[in-house]
Amino acid sequence: MMKKELTEEEKRVIVYKGTERPFTGKYYDFKEKGTYLCKQCGAPLYYSEAKFDSGCGWPSFDEEISGAVKRVPDVDGRRTEIICAKCGGHLGHVFIGEGFTPKNTRHCVNSISMDFLPENGKDTETAIFAGGCFWGVEHLMRQQPGILSIEAGYIGGNTEHPTYKEVCSKTTGHAEAVRIMFDPSKVSYTTLAKLFFEIHDPTQTDGQGPDLGDQYRSEIFYTTDRQKEIAEELIRELKGKGYKVVTRVTSATDFWKAEDYHQDYYNKTGKEPYCHRYTPRF
């Protein structure tokens, strides 16, 4: 793991667990879309959609990227400190039960602990795939080199902050999906899209194996025009081979992260996917 050389002020906060003065950080009143990274090691920490204005004087987020942040008891014996899960750099503190957002969580983070990468910046790209139960898609995609983060969630529906129970009721229109942040210098979108078509059945309508319902549909949610072109090219190629592909190609809308127990499900449980397996198609 490479660590960036820090200035003395950055060391005071990140290494020695200091705090910057409120309302002075560069990301406090900052509204661009993108990803917040750890200043010390560059690991992705928060998506901009999780950021909100709590009025506290520091950047506030109501959820982290899955697995990116660790919570540890603060030395003051009262608060909970948050640190980068990759390098241990101090970020700030987390507070529960304040009611600012439906997630009822506030990560209070020092701006100086973070860098910012604009949406689809040159160093990363985001891909979103729906192909049945998100447990299996996440598990098999996670093994691909070049993936920086991956999380299960819901997309393509008509309500905000949907719960798993609501999605399973088949009334919200959401699909179970995975959102992947990847390094395009290490893995291409074409490679990920091909893998997507080879780990689920793109010919089954509204379901995968025994999982039936529109939340289990096959759909690619593109985040760039080039992704749309690649997805459509691959579908034409598969149809040319005789596959009756039903996969939809749709512009990405709001992605809602699923509940914590859905994240990295198979690694946490030690089980194996029951309706996803690798089948060469290209």
Told to judge if 38 belongs to the known catalytic residues of this protein, a careful annotator would answer no
The sign of the torsion formed by the CA atoms of 234, 264, 104, 83 equals negative
DSSP secondary structure letter of residue 141:
H
The question of whether 133 is a catalytic residue gets the answer yes
pLDDT on residue 164: 95
pLDDT at position 4: 76
Nearest CA among 148, 142, 156, 133 for reference residue 221: 156
pLDDT value for 91: 98
pLDDT of amino acid 5: 85
pLDDT computed for residue 79 by the predictor: 96
Q: Which residues pair with 38 in a beta bridge?
A: 114
pLDDT value at position 2?
Answer: 63
- Residues in the chain, pLDDT under 50: none
pLDDT at site 124: 84
pLDDT of the residue at 122: 62
The model's pLDDT over 12-50, given as tens digits with 9 standing for 90+, comes to 999 999 999 999 999 999 999 899 999 999 999 999 999
Rounded Cα gap, residues 4 and 224, in angstroms: 30
CA distance 6 to 235: 47
Q: Which of 38, 84, 108, 275 is catalytic?
A: 108
- Put simply, whether the predicted model's pTM sits higher than 0.85 gets the answer no
Strand partners of residue 37:
44, 115
Task: Look up residue 128 and give its DSSP letter.
Answer: E
Closest CA to 83 of 55, 43, 117, 30: 43
User: Which residue is catalytic, options 38, 84, 133, 275?
Assistant: 133
